[in-house]
């Protein structure tokens, strides 16, 4: 499906072998924009942790990159319509504004704990999730606010959850790292990395089961599993790649490779940093895409999701992206090279899409400004709603531990504990 | 109404003695029927018979009331069918899979191989490879997969080939299975059953002889039950599958070949209730799983010596049935806990704490707890025997307690 448009020349589809040959041929990445895979950067012996040395390695690699790998998108034919463009723009601005507001609220003491912001990675979330139906599933990590928003969870619900209020999407019981929505099929929100991948595999298994065992022939829901570069060294990742390919589950594994796992550079943690290569090892296509460009991501996502819907099995998509902020709001972010940050800041996905829309006359400056203003109002409203919402009452403490509260057992008086009047007040002994 | 005839021909476990005292069985049956209030039967049209309905039904001839009646009515008294424990598990599983097409089994070698202890034998042929799924060796991931499937509408049963292997799945069981209902604010339920054989077997070595009841005890959101007879194995399996909560069903490697006659009618055991095995007056013995049989063996010796122990199979390891246990403590005032779990932080330790907290005033003596030694199970036969609690130790403990 890779179109001839130079706009997506940086993407490659590496198909899994269809015959008995176990290994597919590797190919060179000479005109890839993937900075981190440059061989110069892969030899740790030449790198030291002192910034000047690292900066020189990075900038020397920078000088060698080809001119194709810039953020500007040169399109022969338009990839999106005006409506689609505005939808994408609005979603990305929503994600960015929401995360910026989170930072503000955190420093004002309205939300607590570990908050992981998604600034800079919006193209991945928007590029993939805006192609999904409501019944499709999304499974994420702790960096999940924007995934939930893109999937359709209201800003009010997410902001309230972050404030710990009872009107939050998880009644204030989950928090920043556990965003769930049954209505919008957001399966979380997991604090441990890699934990969500098997859950996503299970959701894809349900789709296959419904189609083949329960005979619901029109059940073609796709599951997207989002996770980072650090997770790709974790056993659960590999185990699920194997199972998904084995049973041809309708799932897309989306790697948000932002090159850093807190302070651990992807290159220092991984023997072979090119994650897309690990797909064919399990019998599925592995694709690398520029994750700072929402249109490129969207084109790749279209094919991967269509593949899954057709029942052809999983795909591994590696999106090279970058987080503009630290790992979390508690991370001082002193380890990353300023040159690297500047390089990616220049490829801001929102700025890039704006440029594309205006240059191709899909939208005017004023229309985009109107969207930004609208989003500002949505966020303001969300904050106000969250502020005014009540904190959870004591009675909520013991609810939801068990789906069937008989699980708290039988008390000395012969009645189930959950029948104790104190239970609904949250003061019962359980 | 079907009768429970108690333990029929029991396959012996350690020594050559078998528990077959007819008087004991008679008392066992009667008590069993009247004490249990929450086990329920299901009539022909699938309706649940309430407690009231059950108590008003007459005892069928199968419930042995007197020796004389049994002798004469032996042919007509044989209702129900005889099977081994693993077959009872399979029967429960099959009935639930027939009843609800969303029930599926996930595990290693459950499909074509029929399960390493033959619990799922023949099911893959009947239901297909997707419903009885043979997984690669990836416990953590396929348990997580079961969680994801449960969240999205299925009712999976995860089989750990040995409960010890579930240590690899601990991440998913603790974080996801136990917690997701809460952290999602009640939006997603995880109706899974995680089951498998555990406990000390016959010289299987340390890693295959683990007792993980204590490890999962503290995980909030999980229920744990342990089966010990074919009757409660089938009943608990069915109850666990029907429950909306994640349930861990502990089976024991050495109990799979126990034989018992179980009712033909459909029945479910309550997940939260304990089972009165033998009513008594002098001392309460709380036990579960394989230790039940060691206790019953010790009980014979004790009865000969003039003691009258009350034996309760607690069945529900989390939460404890404090009503049955409490009533017993209030009657006998002496408690002995006999378990196979580790001494440190085991089920006995928690049970002791719960009894002290709730029934301190009723105790006449400190609670005694006999557990396995805090030792990795040795391979050598005699060493392995000394790791677990043996009947003579139980007899000594009761004698000490009743002094």
CB-CB contact of A321 with A352 (8 Å): no
Is the pLDDT higher at A54 or at A222?
Answer: A222
pLDDT of residue B235: 97
Which residues have C-beta within 8 Å of that of residue A359, sequence separation ≥ 6?
none
Task: Give me the torsion for CA of A405, A410, A411, A414, rounded to 10°.
Answer: 120
The verdict on whether B272 is a catalytic residue reads no
- Percent of chain A residues topping a pLDDT of 90: 75
pLDDT of residue A60: 41
Q: Which two tokens stand for residue A430?
A: 């359980």
Largest Cα separation within chain A, whole Å, is 78
pLDDT of residue A52: 39
Is the pLDDT higher at B56 or at A188?
Answer: A188
- Percent of chain A residues topping a pLDDT of 70: 82
pLDDT of residue A428: 72
User: What is the mean pLDDT of the segment spanning A330-339?
Assistant: 91
pLDDT of residue B42: 64
Considering B139, B251, B339, B384, which one is annotated as catalytic? B139
How many Å lie between the alpha carbon of A401 and the closest alpha carbon of chain B?
Answer: 5
pLDDT of residue A9: 39
Residues of A whose CB is below 8 A from B97: none
Query: Per residue in A195-212, pLDDT tens?
Result: 999 999 999 999 999 999
Considering B26, B181, B208, B252, which one is annotated as catalytic? B208
Query: Per residue in A339-367, pLDDT tens?
Result: 999 999 999 999 999 999 999 999 999 99
Cis peptide upstream of residue A403 (ω within 30 degrees of 0): no
Cα B39 to chain centroid distance, Å, stands at 14
- Distance CA(B136)–CA(A282), nearest Å, equals 13
Is residue B98 less than 8 Å (CB to CB) from chain A?
no
Cross-chain CB nearest to A137 (options B141, B152, B185): B152
B128 with A213: Cβ contact below 8 A: yes
CB-CB contact of A206 with A250 (8 Å): no
User: What is the mean pLDDT of the segment spanning A260-288?
Assistant: 95
The ipTM, to two decimals, is: 0.82
Residue A33 has pLDDT above 90, yes or no: no
Cα A226 to chain centroid distance, Å, stands at 4
B319 with A139: Cβ contact below 8 A: no
pLDDT of residue B403: 86
Cross-chain CB nearest to B186 (options A171, A199, A410): A171
Is residue B273 less than 8 Å (CB to CB) from chain A?
yes
Can you give the pLDDT of all 403 residues of chain B as single tens digits?
333 333 333 343 333 333 333 333 333 333 333 334 456 666 555 566 544 333 333 333 333 333 333 344 444 456 899 999 999 999 999 999 999 999 999 999 999 999 999 999 999 999 999 999 999 999 999 999 999 999 999 999 999 999 999 999 999 999 999 999 999 999 999 999 999 999 999 999 999 999 999 999 999 999 999 999 999 999 999 999 999 999 999 999 999 999 999 999 999 999 999 999 999 999 999 999 999 999 999 999 999 999 999 999 999 999 999 999 999 999 999 999 999 998 999 999 999 999 999 999 999 999 999 999 999 999 999 999 999 999 999 999 999 999 8
Residue A337 has pLDDT above 50, yes or no: yes
Is the pLDDT higher at A405 or at A13?
Answer: A405
pLDDT of residue A277: 95
- Distance CA(A113)–CA(A177), nearest Å, equals 10
Residues of B whose CB is below 8 A from A204: 148
The verdict on whether B399 is a catalytic residue reads no
Using DSSP, how many helices (H) and how many strands (E) does chain B show?
Answer: 16, 16
Q: What secondary structure letter does DSSP report for B228?
A: -
Residues of A whose CB is below 8 A from B152: 137, 187, 202-203, 206-207
């Amino acid at each position: 499906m890779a179109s001839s448009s130079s706009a997506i020349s940086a993407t490659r589809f590496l198909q899994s072998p269809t015959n008995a040959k176990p290994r597919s041929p590797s190919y060179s990445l000479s005109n890839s924009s993937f900075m981190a895979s440059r061989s110069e950067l892969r030899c740790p012996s030449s790198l030291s942790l002192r910034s000047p040395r690292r900066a020189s390695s990075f900038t020397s690699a920078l000088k060698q990159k080809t001119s194709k790998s810039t953020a500007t998108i040169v399109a022969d034919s338009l990839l999106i319509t005006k409506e689609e463009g505005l939808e994408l723009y609005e979603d990305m601005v929503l994600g960015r504004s929401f995360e910026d507001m989170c930072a503000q609220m955190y420093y004002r003491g309205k939300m607590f704990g570990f908050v992981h912001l998604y600034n800079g990675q919006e193209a991945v979330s928007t590029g993939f999730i805006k192609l999904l139906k409501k019944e499709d599933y999304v499974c994420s990590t702790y960096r999940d606010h924007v995934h939930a928003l893109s999937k359709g969870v209201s800003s009010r619900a997410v902001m309230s959850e972050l404030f710990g209020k009872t009107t939050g999407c998880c009644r204030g019981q989950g928090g920043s790292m556990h965003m769930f929505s049954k209505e919008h099929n957001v399966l979380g929100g997991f604090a441990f990395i890699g934990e969500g991948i098997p859950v996503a595999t299970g959701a894809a298994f349900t789709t296959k089961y419904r189609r083949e065992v329960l005979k619901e022939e029109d059940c073609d829901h796709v599951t997207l599993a989002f996770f980072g570069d650090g997770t790709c060294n974790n056993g659960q990742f590999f185990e699920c790649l194997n199972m998904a390919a084995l049973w041809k589950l309708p799932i897309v594994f989306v790697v948000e490779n932002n090159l850093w796992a807190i302070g651990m550079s992807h290159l220092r943690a991984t023997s072979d940093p090119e994650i897309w290569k690990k797909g064919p090892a399990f019998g599925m296509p592995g694709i690398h895409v520029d994750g700072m460009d929402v249109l490129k991501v969207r084109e790749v996502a279209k094919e991967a999701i269509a593949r899954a819907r057709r029942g052809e099995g999983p795909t591994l998509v590696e999106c090279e992206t970058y987080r503009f902020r630290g790992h979390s709001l508690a991370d001082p972010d002193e380890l990353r090279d300023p040159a690297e940050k500047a390089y990616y800041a220049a490829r801001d996905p929102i700025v890039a899409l704006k440029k594309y829309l205006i240059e191709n006359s899909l939208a005017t400056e004023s229309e985009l400004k109107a969207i930004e203003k609208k989003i500002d109002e949505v966020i303001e409203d969300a904050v106000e709603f969250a502020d005014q919402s009540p904190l959870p009452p004591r009675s909520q403490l013991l609810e939801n531990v068990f789906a069937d509260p008989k699980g708290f057992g039988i008390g000395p008086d012969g009645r189930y504990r959950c029948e104790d009047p104190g239970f609904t007040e949250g003061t019962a002994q359980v | 109404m079907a009768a429970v005839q108690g333990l029929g021909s029991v396959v012996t476990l350690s020594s050559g003695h078998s528990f077959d005292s007819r008087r004991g069985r008679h008392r066992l049956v009667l008590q069993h029927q009247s004490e249990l209030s929450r086990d329920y039967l299901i009539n022909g049209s699938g309706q649940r018979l309430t407690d009231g309905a059950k108590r008003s039904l007459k005892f069928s001839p199968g419930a042995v009331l007197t020796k004389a009646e049994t002798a004469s009515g032996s042919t007509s008294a044989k209702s129900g069918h005889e099977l081994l424990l693993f077959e009872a598990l399979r029967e429960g599983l099959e009935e639930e899979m027939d009843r609800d097409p969303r029930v599926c089994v996930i595990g290693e070698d459950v499909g074509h191989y029929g399960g390493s202890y033959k619990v799922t034998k023949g099911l893959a042929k009947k239901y297909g490879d997707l419903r009885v799924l043979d997984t690669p060796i990836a416990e953590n991931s396929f348990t997580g997969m079961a969680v994801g499937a449960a969240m999205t509408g299925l009712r999976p049963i995860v089989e750990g080939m040995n409960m010890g292997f579930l240590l690899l799945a601990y991440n998913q069981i603790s974080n996801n299975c136990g917690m997701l209902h809460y952290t999602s604010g009640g939006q997603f339920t995880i109706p899974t059953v995680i089951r498998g054989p555990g406990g000390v077997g016959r010289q299987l070595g340390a890693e295959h002889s683990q007792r993980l009841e204590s490890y999962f005890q503290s995980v909030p959101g999980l229920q744990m039950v342990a089966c010990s007879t074919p009757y409660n194995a089938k009943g608990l399996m069915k109850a666990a599958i029907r429950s909306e909560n994640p349930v861990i069903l502990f089976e024991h490697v050495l109990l799979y070949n126990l034989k018992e006659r179980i009712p033909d009618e459909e029945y479910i055991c309550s997940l939260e209730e304990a089972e009165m095995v033998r009513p008594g007056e002098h001392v309460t013995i709380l036990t579960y799983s394989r230790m039940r049989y060691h206790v019953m063996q010790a009980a014979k010796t004790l009865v000969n010596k003039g003691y009258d122990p009350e034996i309760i199979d607690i069945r529900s390891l989390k939460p404890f049935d404090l009503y049955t246990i409490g009533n017993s403590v209030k009657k006998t005032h002496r408690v002995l806990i006999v378990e196979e779990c580790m001494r440190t932080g085991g089920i006995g330790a928690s049970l002791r704490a719960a009894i002290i907290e709730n029934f301190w005033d009723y105790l006449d003596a400190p609670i005694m707890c006999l557990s396995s030694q805090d030792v990795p199970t040795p391979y050598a036969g005699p060493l392995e025997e000394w790791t677990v609690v043996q009947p003579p130790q139980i007899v000594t403990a009761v004698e000490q307690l009743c002094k």
